[in-house]
Structure 1
Amino acid sequence: MASFGVFVALALIFSYIETLIPFQIGIPGVKLGLANLVIVIALYRMPVGEVYLLSGVRVVLTGFLFGNLMSILYSLAGGILSLTVMWGMKRIRSVSILGVSIAGGVFHNIGQLLAAALMVETYGVFSYLPVLLISGLLTGFVIGLAAGEMLKRIRSLQF
């Protein structure tokens, strides 16, 4: 229970730090995803059910603290799809943590686009897909590198 609380706290701290970083490229939904570092590490250190709970708690708390109801809905859609894909990819032995994280970044954006298409009832939102795929790939790569290094350093710690 204590480690779960630590993971939630870290995810909230990273979410807050992300709000302080002026990262705008003019495309809605593009952000660094620093809190996803915690989710990727948790996926390799905790049972998957706890990781889903962690992801949901993180999204709801972050939404209430730094966003709004719409950001919660979009983040939940992206987070659930992303985590499901990452969990599936992690089960394939030949896929590294880097590959898992990249898939998570890409599918997080796809999940958000699917939610947006349902909410605004148009497929026009998919015109953002190329940019969001590239951003998901890049941020997933960076998060994957960081998560891999973190996991190397905390291997001996018990959770």
Structure 2
Amino acid sequence: MCFIGLEGIKLSAKKIVYVSILVSQALVLNIVESFIPVPIPVPGIKIGLANIVTLVTILMFGFKESLIVVILRTLLAQLLVGNLTSFLYSVSGGILSACIMFFVYKRYSKYFSLVGVSVFGSVAHNVGQLFVAALIINNFLIFSYLPVLMIAGIIMGVFTGLVANYFKKYIKNVKYDSKW
């Protein structure tokens, strides 16, 4: 059985179930993370637990599915605990992060481990959020905050990459239908 998804993409029922499970896992991690105090008391710094699921989605399926997971997770999280401005920050950072992680993973995986891919994604997430913030407040001096966010992004990216790397061996054991 096939369904027509976003932009005419044909999705099997099995794939829809897998992607839905990944969206719900990312949503749960996003909500749980909002209750975890970050050891560094700097605004905008988060662990990025939902990025673990984005990495896993890239490993399991690819680019389109990872974007679907990021967009749906962000939309649902903001409906539950956020507002419009935080949605714009989250979705822009999430999309840029997924794009960069997929590009680095597909193009440079022989040079960068999954931890390195995660670090690139984490830094890209911060850049995407700062860009939207600069547009909203109409002041690009906010990028002076980037070095602090980059250091935090590297640390958090290493953590999320290590966790995603742990799951990588289990992902290889999942058998996929070639018609996906």
The TM-score normalised by the length of structure 1 is: 0.94
Superposed, which structure 2 residues align to 1:42-53 within 5 Å?
42-53=57-68
| 2:45 partner SS | coil
Partner of 1:7: 22
Partner of 1:150: 167
Tell me how far apart the structure 2 counterparts of residues 158 and 119 of structure 1 sit (CA, whole Å): 45
CA drift of 1:80 comes to: 1.3
| 1:116 partner SS | helix
1:3-62 Cα distance to aligned partner (Å, 9 max, x none): 011101100110111122122634321111111110011111113111111110011111
Partner of 1:82: 97
Partner of 2:13: none
Partner of 2:140: 123
Matched length:
159
Displaced runs of 4+ in structure 1, greater than 4 A? none
Q: What is the alpha-carbon root mean square deviation over aligned residues? A: 1.3
- Percentage of pairs with the same residue: 38
The TM-score normalised by the length of structure 2 is: 0.84
Superposed, which structure 2 residues align to 1:1-150 within 5 Å?
1-23=16-38, 25-91=40-106, 92-94=108-110, 95-150=112-167
Larger Rg: 2
* Matching residue's letter, 1:143: T
CA contact (8 A) 2:62 2:102 kept: no
CA contact (8 A) 2:115 2:157 kept: yes
* Matching residue's letter, 2:160: I
**Structure 1 unaligned blocks of 5 or more:** none
**Structure 2 unaligned blocks of 5 or more:** 1-15
More helix, by proportion: 1
